[in-house]
Amino acid sequence: MKIAIYPGSFDPVTKGHLSIIERAANIFDKLVVCVMVNSGKHPMFNQQERVALIKKVTGHLPNVEVECSCDLLAEYARKKGSCVIVKGLRAGSDFENEFQMALINRKINPELDTMFLTTEHQYMYLSSSIVKELGKYSVPLQDFLPEEIIEDFERRVHERKGE
């Protein structure tokens, strides 16, 4: 059984992420979407909340599992019995960083390969950070976030304004 891991912050999961999840789920027998800790980012949703949001938008994909982990990615993949990491590539700006991560992961776990799926053109400029920025200005979010989580997102933006 070919198992792939799709790691990221997913704070929150966007339509760009979902497109990668759907396409990777078509290629592999099982796709594990893993919410990783990113020490450089101050999250809007905690890890469990991000897992719940991803589960909400992937209910139609029976071979997708959603988890969170504090492990090193290369170690996590080994534990899950996976030898493929899936990453999404947007503009060239993603490339340098992703290339470095792929090489480091392979160094730590030589059986691990990284497979890149190019973004769909309409999601090329979409990131969770941009969505969080737009959220502050009441811009309609239908083009950026899966319908099922827009309310959760707007509620959190509202709670944060009250802080």
Residues lying near ligand ADP in the complex (CB under 6 A) are found at 8-10, 14, 16-17, 20, 87-88, 90, 94, 119, 123, 126-129
Catalytic residue among 15, 17, 80, 87: 17
Check: CB of residue 89 under 8 Å from CB of residue 98. Answer: yes
Question: In the complex with ligand ADP, which residue's Cβ is closer, 80 or 88?
Answer: 88
Question: In the complex with ligand ADP, which residue's Cβ is closer, 14 or 109?
Answer: 14
Question: What sign does the CA torsion over 89, 93, 94, 98 have?
Answer: positive
Check: CB of residue 6 under 8 Å from CB of residue 34. Answer: yes
Catalytic residue check, 138: no
Question: In the complex with ligand ADP, which residue's Cβ is closer, 91 or 162?
Answer: 91
Least Cβ distance, residue 129 to ligand ADP (angstroms): 6
Least Cβ distance, residue 2 to ligand ADP (angstroms): 19
Q: Which of 145, 130, 96 is nearest to 116 (CA)?
A: 96
Catalytic residue among 55, 78, 90, 156: 90
Catalytic residue among 2, 41, 158, 160: 41
SS3 1: coil
Q: Which of 124, 82, 125 is nearest to 105 (CA)?
A: 82
- Cβ neighbours of residue 155 under 8 Å, at least 6 residues apart? none
Least Cβ distance, residue 48 to ligand ADP (angstroms): 16
List residues with catalytic annotation: 17, 41, 90, 128
